[in-house]
Amino acid sequence: GTSARPALEFVNPLATAVVGDYAVYEMPDRKTLRYAVLGVNLRGVFFGTKHGARHMIAQGNGGRIVNIASQAAKTGFAFASAYTASKHGVVGLTRSAALELAEHKITVNAVCPGFTATFDGGEAMGARPVDEGAESILWAARIANDGPTGGFFRDRTPLPW
């Protein structure tokens, strides 16, 4: 669309926590799981979405919320059950928030940047360059008021469930 851009865009932090290489039956105690994985990857995104939305609603100009998901939200990974559950939660939260915030002209989308070289040596391991991984995030933060909401994207393309 050609609608004007909103006054505020909010991208939830790219922070990610993974607790080792554990099978679900070997996962460390509740406290580790709750705070290290679900606390960062899901609870942090929930509160970022909540407070970003409150600010946008108060401004009255609409806005964009972009949550960072993962390929794990689509397919899951062995020995990463807590991480996978947290990223599935991000996509579910995104879809629900999109429905709740549509009347305020706030779009809410999740982006899967793919395996991105956010650490030294990442590209040598086959990870995408950071600018390539970030491109869809920037796109989702800049879509028009009548653009997609409640979606899960990679490289500007919807990812099927």
Q: Please identify every residue annotated as catalytic.
A: 83
Count the Cβ atoms, other than its own, within 10 Å of residue 79: 14
Q: Is 113 exposed, middle or buried (0-12, 13-18, 19+ CB in 10 A)?
A: buried
Residues composing the chain? 161
- One-letter amino acid of 119: F
CA end-to-end span of the chain: 26
Q: Are 107 and 143 in contact (CB under 8 A)?
A: yes
* Phi, psi dihedrals of residue 151, rounded to the nearest 5°: -100, 170
Three-state secondary-structure class, residue 158: strand
154 contacts 128 by C-beta, under 8 angstroms: no
Please, which residues have CB within 8 angstroms of residue 92's CB and are 6 or more apart in sequence?
none
